[in-house]
Amino acid sequence: MVIKTDKTAPAEKKVTSETQPMFAFGKENYRLLLIGLGVIVLGFILMIGGGSDDPNKFNDAIFDFQRLTLAPILILGGYVIEIFAIMKKPKQ
């Protein structure tokens, strides 16, 4: 039985303190993640309120455009930004 050795195989790279470690996310990814988180938080803040202090009195503010349309759109948009920030390939 003869075992051949391949002398053309690439040499192992030496890890030195000069080489920088590779991270999964870059600076722009983290910036987009924070922007997406801010948009989601803003959407939830816009959804707050509209209640009444008196349980016998009905407040129509719960059916406002801000709470029924704008806030959910912002929340979904924030999640889209988050997904984009995770999927975006960082620059090297």
pLDDT at 5: 64
Lowest mean pLDDT among 12-16, 17-21, 43-47: 12-16
Amino acid identity for residue 61 in this structure: A
pLDDT at 7: 63
Q: What is the tens place of the pLDDT at every residue in 21-70?
A: 777 888 999 999 999 999 999 999 999 977 777 888 888 888 899 999 99
Residues with Cβ < 8 Å from 73, sequence gap 6 or more? 43
Amino acid identity for residue 49 in this structure: G
- Domains of the chain: which residue ranges? 27-87
- Confidence class of residue 15 from pLDDT cuts 50, 70 and 90? low
What is the model's pTM?
0.71
